[in-house]
């Protein structure tokens, strides 16, 4: 199987090292680099485009409410040109918690996304051709919209058990024609499975507090877990959320364990027709230690 894609975040104080890491990711033959919104994903993609020559890079995601469509369209067109077609513009509405923190007023996600992409398309008149647009997707209605107005869909923390069903909604001609189908997967490679799973549980604390994710996981079959988490949140109990994350649910939406087991699972994602995007964490040592473990897995 081909190697997975990798998520990179430009952490303050290590931004230059992160770009150097992108060059190493390319040299080692990984499928692509996807950059989450924290740390200025557009700027990171721009530096990756300048520092590499063959690998694709993408935002995953650039929140639509934080930049005007004409402004982002100009930047995206620039990146499309200087990367010689290797850049993918991943867009999403991000989380209600982020909106509240920033004081952003939002409307209905599907309508807002449709209008925003139309604004991006208008920017082409002056900025030049846009890169392929990929929409952040969880449930079927956003997937259907991505099929209508974009060139791809990217999930985050999708349930492996539900993904085959979702992929069947994408017509074969679209998949064969290059429609992007990808999923970001929190991943800890470590022989101490319990410790690795504990890291993923901490990672998922933010996501289980988001209603859109809980609703998606309910549809994927995890009603009991999500309702228990909702009850804890309603009671103001956030400290006990990790105890409510079942092993079954956690192993369906994240990856943890020895290198061989993780690699086998990533191959299984690829077999579904999904590009797995490793979001690396480590039991100790941070992003750099996590990347060393991933490199060793595919050495």
pLDDT value at residue 82: 98
* Three-state secondary-structure class, residue 178: coil
CA–CA distance, 200 with 197 (Å, rounded to integer): 5
Does residue 113 register a pLDDT over 70?
yes
Does residue 99 register a pLDDT over 70?
no
The total number of residues shown for the chain amounts to: 299
Phi, psi of 223 (to 5 degrees): -65, -45
Q: Are 131 and 87 in contact (CB under 8 A)?
A: yes
Give the domain range for residue 114. 5-297
Burial category of 103 from C-beta neighbours within 10 Å (exposed 0-12, middle 13-18, buried 19 and up): exposed
Residue 165, domain CATH: 3.20.20.30
Model confidence over 141-196: pLDDT tens digits? 999 999 999 999 999 999 999 999 999 999 999 999 999 999 999 999 999 999 99
Q: Are 89 and 77 in contact (CB under 8 A)?
A: no
Q: Determine what percent of the chain is predicted with pLDDT higher than 70.
A: 98
Complete DSSP assignment for 123-134: HHHHH-PPPPEE
CA–CA distance, 299 with 293 (Å, rounded to integer): 10
Model confidence over 82-97: pLDDT tens digits? 999 999 999 999 776 6
- Number of domains forming the structure of the chain: 1
Structure tokens, 155: 């999930």
Model confidence over 212-235: pLDDT tens digits? 999 999 999 999 999 999 999 999
pLDDT value at residue 1: 53
- Which ranges of 168-297 does DSSP label H, i.e. alpha helix? 172-176, 193-208, 211-219, 223-234, 247-253, 259-271, 286-297
Instruction: Write the Ramachandran bin of 121: left for phi over 0, alpha for psi from -120 to 50, otherwise beta.
Output: alpha
Indicate the pLDDT class of residue 109, thresholds 50, 70 and 90: very high
Q: Are 135 and 150 in contact (CB under 8 A)?
A: yes
Model confidence over 34-79: pLDDT tens digits? 999 988 999 999 999 999 999 999 999 999 999 999 999 999 999 9
CA–CA distance, 229 with 238 (Å, rounded to integer): 9
């Amino acid at each position: 199987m081909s190697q997975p894609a990798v998520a990179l975040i430009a952490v303050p104080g290590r931004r230059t090292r992160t770009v150097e890491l992108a060059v190493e990711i390319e040299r080692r033959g990984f499928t692509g680099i996807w950059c989450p919104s924290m740390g200025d994903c557009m700027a990171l993609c721009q530096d990756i485009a300048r520092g590499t020559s063959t690998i694709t890079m993408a935002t995953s995601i650039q929140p639509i409410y934080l930049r005007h469509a004409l402004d982002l369209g100009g930047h995206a067109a620039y990146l499309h040109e200087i990367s010689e077609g290797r850049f993918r513009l991943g867009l999403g509405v991000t989380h209600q918690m982020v909106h509240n923190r920033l004081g952003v007023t939002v409307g209905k996600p599907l309508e807002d996304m449709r209008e925003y992409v139309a604004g991006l398309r208008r920017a082409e008149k002056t900025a030049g051709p846009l890169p392929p647009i990929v929409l952040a997707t969880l449930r079927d209605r956003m997937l259907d919209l991505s099929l209508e107005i974009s060139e791809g869909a990217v999930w985050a923390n999708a349930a492996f058990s539900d993904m085959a069903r979702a992929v069947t909604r994408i017509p074969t001609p679209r998949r064969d024609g290059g429609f992007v189908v990808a999923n970001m997967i929190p991943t800890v490679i470590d022989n101490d499975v319990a410790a690795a799973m504990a890291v993923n549980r901490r990672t998922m604390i933010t996501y289980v507090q988001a209603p859109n994710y809980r609703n998606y996981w309910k549809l994927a079959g995890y009603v009991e877990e999500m309702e228990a988490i909702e009850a804890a949140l309603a009671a103001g109990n956030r400290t006990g959320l990790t105890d409510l994350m079942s092993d079954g649910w956690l192993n369906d939406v994240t990856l943890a364990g020895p290198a061989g087991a993780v690699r086998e699972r990533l191959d299984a994602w690829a077999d579904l027709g999904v590009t797995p995007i490793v979001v690396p964490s480590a039991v100790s040592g941070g992003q750099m230690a996590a990347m060393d473990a991933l490199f060793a897995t595919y050495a």
